[in-house]
Structure 1
Amino acid sequence: MTADVMTTLRAFYAAEAAYLTEGAGFEHMARHLDPDIVMYQASSLPYGGEWRGHDGFRDFIAAMGENWDGLWFDEQHFVSDAERVVVYSRGRLRARRTGRTLETSLLQWITFRDGLITAFRPYYHDTTAVLAALAGE
Structure 2
Amino acid sequence: MTVDVMITLRAFYAAEAAYLTEGAGFEQMAAHLASDVVMYQASSLPYGGEWRGHEGFRAFIAAMGESWDGLWFDEQQFVSDNDRVVVYSRGRLRARRTGRTLETSLLQWISFKDGLITEFRPYYHDTSAVLAALTAESNP
Q: TM-score, normalised by structure 1?
A: 0.99
**Is 2:69 the counterpart of 1:69?**
yes
Q: Give the AA of the match of 2:129.
A: A
Correspondence for 1:104 = 104
Query: Shift in Å at residue 106 of structure 1?
Result: 0.1
Correspondence for 1:85 = 85
Determine the C-alpha separation between the residues in 2 that align with 1:85 and 1:41: 17
Q: SS state of the match for residue 34, structure 1?
A: strand
Query: Shift in Å at residue 17 of structure 1?
Result: 0.2
Query: Shift in Å at residue 42 of structure 1?
Result: 0.1
Equivalent residues in 2 for 1:5-20, closer than 5 Å: 5-20=5-20
**Is 2:32 the counterpart of 1:32?**
yes
Query: Shift in Å at residue 136 of structure 1?
Result: 1.5
Determine the C-alpha separation between the residues in 2 that align with 1:33 and 1:132: 30
Q: SS state of the match for residue 80, structure 1?
A: strand
Query: Shift in Å at residue 107 of structure 1?
Result: 0.1
Deviations along 1:51-82, whole A, 9 cap, x unmatched?
00000000000000000000000000000011
Q: Give the AA of the match of 1:48.
A: G
Q: Give the AA of the match of 2:134.
A: L
Structure 2 gap segments, 5+ residues each:
none
Determine the C-alpha separation between the residues in 1 that align with 2:136 and 2:75: 25
Determine the C-alpha separation between the residues in 2 that align with 1:133 and 1:109: 24
Structure 1 gap segments, 5+ residues each:
none
Q: Give the AA of the match of 1:25.
A: G
Q: For this pair of structures, how many residues does the alignment match?
A: 137
Runs of 4+ in 1 over 4 A off after TM superposition: none
Deviations along 1:100-123, whole A, 9 cap, x unmatched?
000000000000000000000000
Correspondence for 1:126 = 126
Q: What is the root-mean-square deviation in Å for CA atoms of aligned residues?
A: 0.6
Determine the C-alpha separation between the residues in 1 that align with 2:85 and 2:43: 23
Q: Give the AA of the match of 1:60.
A: F
Q: SS state of the match for residue 70, structure 2?
A: strand
